[in-house]
Structure 1
Amino acid sequence: MAEVFVCAGCGAGLTDSLTRVALPARTHQRYGHELLPALMEQGTYAVDPEPSGPPRRLWDTIGADEAAARGVFAPVPSLSFGPAGAILVAPGDTRGTVLIPERCDGYCLGLDGRAGPNLACAHCGRAVATRIDDCTLWQVVRLDPTAVHAIPSGGPDPTADWAELTRDRRAAPPIEPPGGWSPHWEAAVAVALAHLLAASGGNRVGVPAGLLTTTFGRALDELLPTEPAAKTLALALALAGPGLPTRATATAPAPAIVLVPQHPQTGEAWQPPAGTAEAVPLAADVWTYLAFHDDRRLVPAPGRLPDGILRDDPLPQHPWRAFHPDRRVLLRTLSRLPAVREPWLRAIHDRLGGRPS
């Protein structure tokens, strides 16, 4: 259902009509040293279930038990004790707000929200949201859930079924001009990699050749044991989901772990048949590219190609460096998985946390 968010104090409208979608994997990502585009697509909003904003407390002042009660199971630099459930919207979808000058702090080129809500309702002056647009951060306005209310603005928005999403096949390309890996892929793969590590139980994971090896294989080889196959049989990894065959064959036995898509509206993961494999969720647009994109190299042909024949025009993008899942996103996701309390996975978490890059 489409909704408009209004000030809880005076009822003035603060946003356009928006439709809820899943929380993007890159929500807490820091990337590069330049200004980034908006986190949310126009006309959409997402809810961040975790607390955000000040006050913040350092890990040493919290304690493992209190952190675990808040859903964090391994050390992090600090935790927010602000309100949970911020509503994330694109800056261009806000209406009727003004900046609070004394809270417009930032690190470099914009606002980073360190001083708390920096947007006020233009009608009554109540602090209602935090605008974030500094370099390295995805631009977003975080509406304070204690300062706004949602009002229905339209009829029910139908949730697309998996068959519809399969037909649509909205995919995010892994490489962006002029040849860098997409930060969205680096974040989405990092989130899935954390769940994949937990699902492995500390065993080796065998990854099919191709883009899966490029994006997951190197990290898995580095983080998990590499014992000889004669001693340890690697757990097979594969893609599974709507539109893909589900039966194992003699040449492709049933995998132990499958990467499945997350619904782009609800965030729920597609579920394989019960008892077949352990499912690891992956952002739908990244999963769709992995599942359906044909990345085979085309063979040059002389003369003019008939209509309908694929051609390399424009030439395909090729990355200028190896793919690396976002380390900060990987650490953040691992710290929020109960499985990280297992000694072997905690060791991986701590080893990643001790690296400068």
Structure 2
Amino acid sequence: MAVFACADCGAVLTAPVSLVALPAHAHQKYGNGVLLPVLLESGTYVVDPEPSGPPWRLWEEVGAQEAAARGVHAPVYGLSYGPPGAVGVAPGDVRGTVLIPERCGGHCCGLDGGDGPNLACAQCGRAVAIRVDDCSLWQVVWLDPHAVRAVCVDEPARRVLSWEELREQQQEISPIQPTGMWSPVWEAAVSVALAHLLAASGGARVVVPDGCVADVFRLATDILLPPGSSAKSLALAGPGLSAATADIALVPRHPQTGEAWPTDAGAAVPLAADVWMYLASTRDRQFIPATGGLPDGVYRDDPPPLLPFRRFQPDPDVFLHTLARLPEVRQPWLREIYDRVRDRRYIRPF
């Protein structure tokens, strides 16, 4: 366990926290005016390996060669030249900070961090973090890696669960919200996996298994990948499931370590563990039911499962962000897909 302290005066700024993997939806923007919950569980923290914050430089100014050296392999609007390694914590785990009034700008209902660090150390006044709680954004506090330092504390760290324990204890995330909307966590997680799946396909058609996996992956792969006789098979693989005969395995990504389940399949596509667990436990179920209802005289006592009011659509921004950082996007066929989705991002590209 660790606490984060002000780099200038040493004042403790967080409760004791343990490191976990950066969620796929960490920087997702969802909906319009939607109030999202906290990004992280209390008692945990994440480290974002990418640069964040100002200064920003436009793609045309940076150029493809310099951008590739920074891990971006397809055109984006701009690149951050801020420090990498921002530390994310739950807002409730922050201690000893005060708001900086002149930096409390937001888009609509709260703070979005657009004005730079908006939290200062209460003891010495140094700007130390950005609190984000505006609508359409996941609530989180990003500590400036140059303004804080980690201090080990004498408290037992959270034990890393084995894959078997994870299968038993990991909470599944329901794909459907009570409103009938798809979960933003699912949209982000599947979008990240879809980018890796396209890269692993090599441009060949992907045969997606029936059931829940098909409901969230098949439409996008059928639209984006060209038809043809050459095809690669996709299968779930993970705790209790083997996909040794599949060309591509959809495997869980450990929520604590970020490591993907090891598989003997030709290629592995990581998927957030809470989403993977749901797919693995309901492989034969379909989110989009067949037409028709129960026969006359048949009644149900239990409430029926939640069903979406529309087909699943990946999050185009999360998809493009992920794909732009995969070296495979430099291949002409995949770059064409990237450009097509980017040009149609606001008119249902999937």
TM-score by shorter chain over 0.5: yes
Deviates more, 1:159-168 or 1:325-334: 159-168
The residue aligned with 1:36 is 36
CA displacement 1:221-269 (0-9 Å, x = unmatched): 0000012xxxx2321100001111456xxxxxx2100100001101010
Give the Å deviation of 1:14.
Answer: 0.7
Q: What is the CA–CA distance in structure 2 between the aligned matches of 1:303 and 1:77, rounded to whole Å?
A: 56
Of 263, 280, 287, the match for 1:272: 263
Corresponding letter in the other structure for 2:320: L
Change (3 A) 1:107 1:312: same
Unaligned runs of 5+ in 1: 248-253, 305-310
Contact 1:46 1:89 in 2 (8 A): yes
The residue aligned with 2:13 is 14
Of 316, 336, 343, the match for 1:327: 316
TM-score between both structures, scaled by the size of structure 1: 0.90
Q: What is the CA–CA distance in structure 2 between the aligned matches of 1:24 and 1:301, rounded to whole Å?
A: 46
Alignment of 1:153-164 (within 5 A): 153=153, 154-164=155-165
Contact 1:55 1:81 in 2 (8 A): yes
The residue aligned with 2:240 is 243
Corresponding letter in the other structure for 1:4: V
Of 281, 287, 290, the match for 2:276: 287
Q: What is the CA–CA distance in structure 2 between the aligned matches of 1:246 and 1:344, rounded to whole Å?
A: 27
The residue aligned with 1:112 is 112
Change (3 A) 1:312 1:176: farther
The residue aligned with 2:97 is 97
Contact 2:210 2:284 in 1 (8 A): no
- What's the C-alpha RMSD, in Å, of the aligned pairs? 1.9
Deviates more, 1:148-157 or 1:9-18: 148-157
Give the Å deviation of 1:176.
Answer: 1.0
The residue aligned with 2:2 is 3
Matched position secondary structure for 1:350: helix
Change (3 A) 1:301 1:265: farther
Q: What is the CA–CA distance in structure 2 between the aligned matches of 1:339 and 1:354, rounded to whole Å?
A: 19
Unaligned runs of 5+ in 2: 287-292
Matched position secondary structure for 2:314: coil
| Number of matched pairs | 338
Off by >4 Å, runs of 4+ in structure 1:
294-304
Give the Å deviation of 1:323.
Answer: 0.4
Q: What is the CA–CA distance in structure 2 between the aligned matches of 1:171 and 1:151, rounded to whole Å?
A: 33
Deviates more, 1:313-322 or 1:334-343: 313-322
CA displacement 1:68-98 (0-9 Å, x = unmatched): 1110000011111111000011111111111
Deviates more, 1:36-45 or 1:257-266: 36-45
Contact 2:106 2:112 in 1 (8 A): yes
Give the Å deviation of 1:105.
Answer: 1.5
Contact 2:204 2:232 in 1 (8 A): yes
Give the Å deviation of 1:178.
Answer: 2.0
Give the Å deviation of 1:136.
Answer: 1.3
Identity %: 61
